[in-house]
Amino acid sequence: MADELEKLKLDALGRLSIEEFKQSNKFPAVVVLENVRSAMNVGAIFRTADAFAIEKLYLCGYTPTPPHKDIMRTALGSVESVNWEHHADTQTVLNVLKNQGYTICGVEQTNKSIELQNISIMPKVAFIVGNEVDGVNEETLLQCDAILEIPQFGTKHSLNVSVATSIVLWHWLYVSQIQK
């Protein structure tokens, strides 16, 4: 092979400083974590929020918040770059987001779910992900404009909440932002 494969070093990746990132334009998406119990999942979602430059995370209910040690371990510093708020009540957050013009999308398996690949372009969206065992609360699902489901073909039909969040954000970013 004439050209040798070379992994890029950190300085070649063109990373923004935390201050540059905070000042940069974000994609018009937020993620609402409703009663996510694992601090490690929360930390992983912080990293995803940073990677895809979304506007904010809303940590609701008993979802752990920084500076929990497991969040800090998995977030790798992204708690400093990603805007976030904690709220005891998901409904309050949804009301504010609706008033700000966000399309509210639950990520859940229901009889009315839309498969992720069939979503329409949504210019400003709030994705709600739920508890690792019980998912998104039914009361919350009733407030959603759409409910999205990631098609799965194995025996479990269940993804880790941080993995599901990453897939949904990447797909939305690709469809709604990059392809337009």
The torsion angle over the Cα atoms of residues 52, 53, 58 and 64, rounded to 10 degrees, is: 70
Distance from C-alpha of 44 to C-alpha of 54, rounded to nearest angstrom: 14
Mean pLDDT of 143-150: 97
What is the percent of the chain with per-residue pLDDT over 70, rounded to a whole number? 97
Model's pTM, two decimal places?
0.94
Q: Do 107 and 129 form a contact (C-beta atoms < 8 A)?
A: yes
pLDDT of residue 157: 86
pLDDT of residue 121: 80
If pLDDT is split at 50, 70 and 90, which confidence band does 178 have? Answer: low
Distance from C-alpha of 139 to C-alpha of 157, rounded to nearest angstrom: 23
pLDDT of residue 179: 62
Mean pLDDT of 147-162: 95
If pLDDT is split at 50, 70 and 90, which confidence band does 40 have? Answer: very high
CA 12 to chain centre: 27
pLDDT of residue 80: 97
DSSP letter assigned to residue 118: G
If pLDDT is split at 50, 70 and 90, which confidence band does 175 have? Answer: confident
Distance from C-alpha of 132 to C-alpha of 90, rounded to nearest angstrom: 16
Distance from C-alpha of 29 to C-alpha of 178, rounded to nearest angstrom: 14
What is the b/e burial string over 42-74, where b = at least 16 CB atoms within 10 angstroms of the residue's CB? bbbbbbbbbebbbbbbbbbbebbbbeeeebbeb
Domains of the chain: 28-178 (3.40.1280.10)
pLDDT at 144 over 80: yes
pLDDT at 102 over 60: yes
Mean pLDDT of 47-68: 98
Distance from C-alpha of 165 to C-alpha of 176, rounded to nearest angstrom: 16
